[in-house]
Structure 1
């Protein structure tokens, strides 16, 4: 039962809560450093993956358009052959007409089919030009895709190498952080995470530095400094919202205030 009480966040003193928060902050900062080592590589890999996916989709679309153009050319060639058959048939019928009206009708049909052949030839040439342009575009897109794939493989290898070097350390830190989070009451933990997310340097807990907040460096009133040192309640900076602890709790030894010492010595001499 005693062990369970120790693990219950509600049973922790304010000082223990502050220590737990600072330890969690330290672990998360180490994880941030590991992420910094990876630099922009994850974003570069993501951008290249998106570009490769976009190019692949574009290439598929161009191929589909080329297939449609080829089908259109084939269809027009079939129409030409059909029109040629009709022309030959009408010319043969002209040899056996019984009057001028039939001859004129067949002549108009021959003319119409001839125009159809010319129109199909024109459309075939247009489709052929479009097909050539699409084929050139396809060739260029495939070349760009090959280059991007090479870049992606290189960036992935670089990222995998860095990740493999730091993965074990990061996993250990994350595991410890998870365990530590269970000792902090949910509301305080949620507040800490929100503050940390909104701060540029990712710090949700800071200690007093030269009578000022270690996060935004705004001066802290003397009475508030006493409250921080007493560790009786959780104090947050009224300017940046970070949780403030005293340096001793953070395990930091600050330099003595030399200026005040010098002034005191000079006053004593006078």
Structure 2
């Protein structure tokens, strides 16, 4: 194969237009996928977040259960103390001792009352958290199903297009090697600055492809001569003549149809 320096302007133009056709085909494939990969990623994050929330809610329930058991033990201890103080009251020697024990009994009764109130509150919290857990599980199940559907949709598209996209990207790199670096950089810069990614366009009905700006006849003749690389003064796109574009499209369509 000839060195890059030996490549004619026409060959460069053909290589650039072929590169454009390949990259546009890759753009089409990626447009078919659209926002699906991002949707799948967002759904995966949401599912992970819901699982984390469920784990925290379950952990909260365990803590509340432990708190209830602690209060139940406190009640049992308080009842045992009341029984002990009541027995001691039978053997007191004076009113002062009796009153002191009565105060201990009263304090333990208040402890029992407070613990029972707290247990009631804990049980209400459990019911509330169980309701939230149920809602979260329903949401998680719905999101999982949606995620599986989107993953299936994405995998189906990937299975249809992955092989073609990979081959096209490799082909794109091959064409880049046939073009001098400054032209490849210019091509990529133009591509990144235009909405549709078209950096190389043919002349159509006297205007650059996709625009309404007419190309002067003299410039059209120069483009058809294929002796220098000419850009559109309005959009900055590289221009090729209609015949060259047609020939390269036919050639590349054969390549695309092989997938």
| Alignment partner of 2:32 out of 24, 37, 57 | 37
Distance in 1, Cα, partners of 2:240 & 2:27? 21
Alpha-carbon separation, structure 2, partners of 1:190 and 1:94: 100
Secondary structure of the residue aligned to 1:98 is coil
- SS of the residue corresponding to residue 239 of structure 1 reads coil
For residues 163-203 of structure 1, give each alpha carbon's deviation from its aligned partner in whole angstroms, at most 9, with x where no partner exists: 22222222221221122222233343233223323322221
**Structure 2 residue 146 is the aligned partner of structure 1 residue 134:** no
2:42 aligns with 47
Q: What is residue 155 of structure 2 aligned with on the other side? A: 160
Pair 1:120-2:115 in alignment: yes
Q: Unaligned stretches of 5+ in structure 2? A: 249-259
Separation in structure 2 between the aligned mates of residue 186 and residue 71 of structure 1, nearest angstrom? 70
Partner residue of 2:186 out of 184, 191, 200: 191
Distance 2:216 2:245 in 1: 20
In structure 1, stretches of 5+ residues that fail to align are 254-270
- Tell whether 2:70 aligns with 1:71: no
Deviation at 1:134, TM superposition (A): 1.0
Scaled by the length of structure 1, the TM-score of the pair is 0.79
| Displacement after TM superposition at 1:161 (Å) | 2.1
1: CA distance between counterparts of 2:112 and 2:104? 12
- The range that moved more, 182-191 or 55-64, is 182-191
What residue number does 2:230 align with? 235
Which of the numbers 198, 205, 208 marks the counterpart of 2:203? 208
Note the C-alpha offset of 1:131. 1.1
How many angstroms apart in 2 are the aligned matches of 1:94 and 1:209? 112
Match of 2:22 among 12, 24, 27: 27
Q: Which sits farther off after the overlay, 51-60 or 209-218?
A: 209-218
SS of the equivalent of 1:208 reads strand
Cα distance in structure 1, aligned partners of 2:227 and 2:97: 115
Deviation at 1:122, TM superposition (A): 1.2
| Cα distance in structure 1, aligned partners of 2:216 and 2:97 | 113
| Alignment length (residue pairs) | 248
1:226 deviates by 4.8
Higher relative contact order by CA 8 Å / sep ≥ 6: 1 or 2?
2
Q: 1:85 to 1:36 in 2, by over 3 A?
A: same
Q: Report the aligned-residue RMSD.
A: 2.6
| 1:194-218 deviation line (CA, Å, top 9, x unaligned) | 3323322221221222333324433
CA drift of 1:232 comes to 4.2
Deviation at 1:51, TM superposition (A): 2.2
TM-score, normalisation: structure 2: 0.82
Q: Partners of 2:236 and 2:91 in 1: how far apart? A: 104
Runs of 4+ in 1 over 6 A off after TM superposition: none
Q: Partners of 2:141 and 2:183 in 1: how far apart?
A: 51
TM-fit CA distance, 1:124: 1.2
